[in-house]
Amino acid sequence: MSGTLVLVRHGQSDWNLKNLFTGWKDPELTELGVKEAETGGQALADYGIKFDIAFTSALKRAQETCRIVLEKVGQPDLETVRDQALNERDYGDLSGLNKDDAREKWGEEQVHIWRRSYDVPPPGGESLRDTGARVWPYFMTEILPRVLRGETVLVAAHGNSLRSLVMVLDRLSKEEILKLNLATGVPMVYKLNADSTVASKDVLGDMSGAH
């Protein structure tokens, strides 16, 4: 019996809107971000999904997205586990900086390398590989066993923590994962086989809104 894993990236945050590196900083959702979470939650309600448990990060924008989604599917009191293992990639010294200001300070090419390379971290921060090294063990020990028992599990998290999971689930190369952007508030519904391979994947919305 296979279970279902639903991944949702949080709706737009105040700092996404201001073009700031966010990382482990903790801004709220914007009005648009709330609407994106509501749209994603409604898509899941229309899909007919009911969850057994939810996981989210230690950051408000993911927690709020999780809460809105659960409200929309009629499960506002569902058990929800919060853990910083699912936090966004830590941008270190870039956190809180406007992306244009960072380019002025370090140069376009260097900032591009930090943002888009797989294993080069910004000063004081994490690379995508470092993020995966924290996300994967948590996924393998806390989340995947529940899915393999046949449960339906929601994970509301962040662009880079979810990219780490999609990389494994979709068997993407380092090059492929760097090109992948996940749209805010758009649920990805994975049905898994007993050996943890993907039986099917449904994207409930428009991925072209990725940024």
Contacts of 124 (CB under 8 A, 6+ apart): 90, 92, 93
In terms of DSSP bridges, do strands 188-192 and 4-9 run parallel, antiparallel, or are they unpaired?
antiparallel
Q: Which tokens belong to 120?
A: 């080069």
Of 36, 88, 126, 158, which one is the catalytic site residue? 88
Of 10, 64, 126, 158, which one is the catalytic site residue? 10
E strands within the chain? 4-9, 53-56, 80-82, 152-157, 188-192, 198-203
| Residue type (1 letter), 208 | S
Tell me whether residue 112 is one of the annotated catalytic residues.
Answer: no
Catalytic residues: 10, 88
